[in-house]
Amino acid sequence: MSLGTGIRLADLIAAICFVLALKGLTSPKTARYGNLLGAGGMTLAIAITFATNGLTHFLLIAAAMVIGAVVAVPAARLVKMTAMPQMVAAFNGVGGGAAALIALATFLRAPAGSLAIYQVIEVLLGVIIGSISFSGSCIAFAKLQELMTGRPITYPGQQVWNGIVAVAIFGLGIALCATTANWLVAVVLALALVFGIAFVLPIGGADVPVLISLLNSFTGLAVAASGFVLHSVVLVVAGTLVGASGTLLTHMMSRAMGRSLPNILFSAFGSVITAAGGAEGDTTRSVRSASAEDVAILLSYANKVIVVPGYGLAVAQAQHTIRELADLLEARGIEVIYAIHPVAGRMPGHMNVLLAEANVPYEQLKEMDEANPEFQSADVALVVGANDVVNPAAKNDPSSPIYGMPILAVDEARNIVFMKRSMRPGFAGIDNELLFDPKTTLLFGDAKDSLTKVVAAVKAM
């Protein structure tokens, strides 16, 4: 068996590992095993690449890999669970960047005029999609890390400008097929970077996770394109797998938010004004706030409590405290369940990860469809750091930007307790009518402080 055949066989095994890894990731039981299998296939694919005929600069390659690993491992190990989405965005962005650089380097290497048109197209796809994914992920990271505002950024003629940039990229791409001038490809790369930024700016913070999923599938396609450039089957297979499954996942996520993908990507234009108008009118209305002791009494004499955890809970690292409270209440014979909105936290499934971290029993976590009928019979709905996912405006107010998003039917519970840091609107930047409802009690403060006080008060009773 020749070396070339060996490499091809190893690539095939790696490709099979990737498919099985994806398959494994679709079920909680096999997910971890699936991920390890993916890592195994990856190790094989990388190791066998060293045996490629004519490959040199081994020391440089090893040095670059060490640098990457030395940065990546601590970053991935130490990142807080709440900061996971932006971490994924960052790792996704650099992958897109690498794909773009590969296509660029291959193009620059070829003697002028030696590339067939389909080869130029392959390079262009790699450069364009990879660059968009890179700069888009950077902005998504900045939005989630709160380095910049999470609100949609809009300016007059935004769509027109984006359109012009897109047309320019397309036009220069065609020109490149004709002339293959080196400077043209640099301009295309720069324009694609600009487009990536411009395309992400108007997307609101709450929608960024869906965007990351979309950019993730973009990077997959960019990797597939660079696979075409390099004639590497394993790159084409893995990139395409991610491109296809990422597209489907993006669709599932946006469906969980009750919105279509075009709506998420392009709806910010105009919606900001409605939201701002609503917020202003409400500043004068009164709300009912209470002390931790009041909340403790309310909870202790309930028969059934439904906890609605949100991102605020995660930020305050209050997962363990909420579980302590739930345990205390259960010891008093009170039924406690957790109602998990599909996009609670900042990504679908994010909240499950966070609560699992605090050892909350899996069977107490109810998905939205299961939880909603339970609210009618609940004495208290305890909303901790969630806002948009319980906002009735999604049901009642067609002018609201979140109109149509499925929400948890918290308003059907007999009493509602909100734990909030302030009256500030949620991540989507919209006011919540429910806060002004007569059966709503507010407990202001950091979620962890508030919960700790409530726990102490329940213990004292």
Give the residue numbers annotated as catalytic, written as ranges.
388
How far, in Å, are 20, 36, 293, 453 from residue 131 at the CA level?
Answer: 29, 29, 54, 49
User: From residue 96 to residue 115, what is the string marking binding to another protein with x (rule CB under 8 A)?
Assistant: -xxx-xx-xxx-xx------
The nearer residue to another protein, 94 or 142, going by C-beta atoms, is 94
Contact stretch for another protein (CB under 8 A) within 184-192, 220-228, 273-281, 443-451: 220-228
The nearer residue to another protein, 104 or 434, going by C-beta atoms, is 104
Please, what is the angle between helix 158-179 and helix 182-200, to 10°?
160
# residues near another protein by CB under 8 A: 113
382-406: b (≥16 Cβ within 10 Å) or e: bbbbbbbbbbbbbbebeebbbbebb
User: From residue 342 to residue 371, what is the string marking binding to another protein with x (rule CB under 8 A)?
Assistant: x----xxxx-xx--xx-x-xx----x----
SS3 at position 204: coil
Contact stretch for another protein (CB under 8 A) within 149-157, 221-229, 302-310, 431-439: 221-229
**317: contact with another protein by CB under 8 A:** no
Between CA 164 and CA 368 the distance in angstroms is 42
Strand-pair category, 415-420 with 304-309: unpaired
Binding another protein (rule: CB under 8 A), the pick from 213, 391, 441, 450 is 213
Binding another protein (rule: CB under 8 A), the pick from 136, 243, 309, 312 is 243
Q: Which of residues 263-282 bind another protein (CB under 8 A)?
A: none
Smallest separation, CB 16 to another protein (Å): 11
Tallying the residues shown for the chain, one arrives at 461
**35: contact with another protein by CB under 8 A:** yes
Smallest separation, CB 359 to another protein (Å): 7
How far, in Å, are 14, 308, 312, 353, 430 from residue 344 at the CA level?
Answer: 35, 9, 10, 11, 16
Contact stretch for another protein (CB under 8 A) within 24-32, 145-153, 390-398, 438-446: 24-32
Smallest separation, CB 309 to another protein (Å): 14
Nearest to 437 by CA among 390, 367, 385, 376: 390
Q: Which of residues 50-89 bind another protein (CB under 8 A)?
A: 50, 52, 54-58, 60-61, 64-65, 67-69, 71-73, 75-77, 79, 81, 84-85, 87-88
Q: Is the dihedral of CA 15, 20, 26, 28 positive or negative?
A: negative
**382: contact with another protein by CB under 8 A:** no
Backbone φ and ψ for 343, nearest 5 degrees, come out as: -110, 25
**337: contact with another protein by CB under 8 A:** no
Neighbours of 182 (CB within 10 A): 12
Contact stretch for another protein (CB under 8 A) within 32-40, 157-165, 189-197, 372-380: 32-40
How far, in Å, are 118, 319, 344, 390 from residue 340 at the CA level?
Answer: 48, 13, 6, 11
Contact predicate 440/416, CB 8 Å: yes
**131: contact with another protein by CB under 8 A:** no
**212: contact with another protein by CB under 8 A:** yes
Binding another protein (rule: CB under 8 A), the pick from 6, 118, 269, 424 is 118
**296: contact with another protein by CB under 8 A:** no
Contact predicate 339/368, CB 8 Å: yes
DSSP string, 143-170: HHTTSS-SSPP--TTHHHHHHHHHHHHH
Binding another protein (rule: CB under 8 A), the pick from 3, 46, 117, 167 is 46
Contact predicate 219/99, CB 8 Å: yes
Cα 153–155–159 angle (5° rounding)? Answer: 100
**9: contact with another protein by CB under 8 A:** no
Contact stretch for another protein (CB under 8 A) within 92-100, 166-174, 264-272, 379-387: 92-100
Contact predicate 447/384, CB 8 Å: yes
Q: Which of residues 155-184 bind another protein (CB under 8 A)?
A: none
Smallest separation, CB 405 to another protein (Å): 14
Smallest separation, CB 51 to another protein (Å): 11
**430: contact with another protein by CB under 8 A:** no
Smallest separation, CB 142 to another protein (Å): 17
Q: List Cβ neighbours of 145 (8 Å cut-off, separation of 6 or more).
A: 83, 86
The nearer residue to another protein, 102 or 302, going by C-beta atoms, is 102
Between CA 14 and CA 41 the distance in angstroms is 4
